[in-house]
A and B are shown apart, each in its own frame.
Chain A
């Protein structure tokens, strides 16, 4: 567990990116899981988990005040677990994706709590804000940023610390074949991606034909391999 501290710092930074700073999408699962995999020593496993999760994440766009999974810290947890267990490939991808989804769910809940916390802080400073206090404005912003960073660091550390032993035990007795496990996980992820693509793009004129054309190209590419 020597990796716990650097991973929690990475999870903190990526968790911060989800909403607060700088929203450059380094928190997307494709990035988070791959970088976490590299931290633990197996970039390829991290990337595999990240790409599978990216398909799923297409369905969860961060619109306004809506509640959505917190992918940043969660992807770090999933990517790192998959990389840590790469010596036993069967089930590693599935367990990594599962760990991420569970952490992202809890992470979404912690984001809601953070917003409530920020509102409480803002209420306490209402008088100062109404009088145009520069210190209150800057202080609230820094308090919010720090709270989010700490939230994401704790979430990453706790989730990784709790899930890794369970994941290790699961992979040790995993009975399905590696390729079957990957196919089930990727198939489920592709369903979410295809449904998300339809939901997001179908209102654009002709989008279904563009999708069909793209699908044809993709399948032809696979057939020619």
Chain B
């Protein structure tokens, strides 16, 4: 009853969460970049979550030798699975929950509930969105003859603006909202972003593929036309047998056979 009484008299409600220094946040952020360092088939990202949270958990009463710290580290290093970039949302929220003294069973339920949404949103937004989009834009740059260093910089700048931005946003929103962070996943960028990126990527793919092939093939227009037509035919075949044949393995076999003939004849 203390807090409402204080609020009635106009005094600010005390925040039970300890302050976390900027240096601690830098340390947590750098560790999130290595969150998959011990990825395995049993605890998946679990140890990485404990590793990333560890600098923040040192703020718990008693420090690294205290029971609160040990209990929190044990809890946070258990099984966890999500997209590695969006795990920063969980890291921020879990740091707030642990430092605010939220009951352990509530934290464990929250951890379990976050896995699915953070995995599916991240997969669609990053692996099936930002990554192919950045690759294809860089391939357009390659196709129109941009210098090698600039091609690499375009790719890395485009991709990592999204990548690092997402990680920083995740930590901030997680820390700010704590256990109520699920609402942040309804952010329009996360909800509608994948569809917009998919359309943009489709358009960019249409431009990038012929331009890339043209630059690789060189000046022969006839060979370029043949390469594009044969490529289109094989692509249709690959789409039709979707899931049964992996494209890169098919290319490996085709190119190996071509090399064999070239060497043997």
Contacts and interface: CB of A to CB of B under 8 A. Distances in A.
Interface of A: 19-26, 28, 30-31, 34-35, 38, 43-44, 46-48, 51-52, 54-65, 69, 91, 93-95, 97-98, 101-102, 104-105, 115-116, 118-119, 121-123, 129-134, 137-138, 140-145, 148, 170, 173-176, 178-201, 203-208, 210-219, 221-222, 225
B41 A115 contact: yes
Contacts of A189: 213, 216, 231, 251
Contacts of A63: 123, 127
Interface stretch (B13-21, B88-96, B155-163, B174-182): B155-163
Contacts of A192: 235, 238, 247-248, 250-251
Given A91-B259, A189-B251, A206 B199 contact: yes
Nearest to B66: A132
A54 to B, nearest CB: 6
B4 to A, nearest CB: 35
A132 B71 contact: yes
A59 B247 contact: yes
B156 to A, nearest CB: 7
A124 to B, nearest CB: 12
A30 B138 contact: yes
Given A20-B37, A137-B50, 20 more contacts: A20-B34, A25-B159, A51-B215, A58-B135, A61-B131, A94-B262, A121-B38, A140-B47, A141-B38, A141-B51, A176-B262, A183-B224, A184-B254, A186-B212, A192-B238, A194-B232, A214-B206, A215-B207, A216-B206, A218-B210
A134 B230 CA distance: 57
B223 to A, nearest CB: 4
User: Interface residues of B toward A: which range?
Assistant: 35 or more
A199 B239 CA distance: 7
Contacts of B199: 201, 204-207, 210
Contacts of A46: 148
Contacts of A197: 132, 201-202, 205-206, 209
Interface in B37-87: 37-44, 47-48, 50-51, 54, 64, 69-74, 77, 81, 84-85
A101 B252 contact: yes
Contacts of A30: 135, 138-139, 142, 151-152, 155
A141 B254 CA distance: 40
B41 A194 contact: no
A216 B47 CA distance: 49
B234 interface: yes
A91 B259 CA distance: 8
B198 to A, nearest CB: 3
B47 to A, nearest CB: 5
A7 B181 CA distance: 44
Contacts of B47: 122, 129, 137, 140-141, 144
Contact of A179 (B220, B228, B252): B220
Contacts of B228: 187, 190
A76 to B, nearest CB: 14
B251 A188 contact: yes
Nearest to A190: B231
A132 B72 contact: yes
Contact of B217 (A19, A175, A182, A199): A182
Given A63-B127, A199-B242, A188 B231 contact: yes
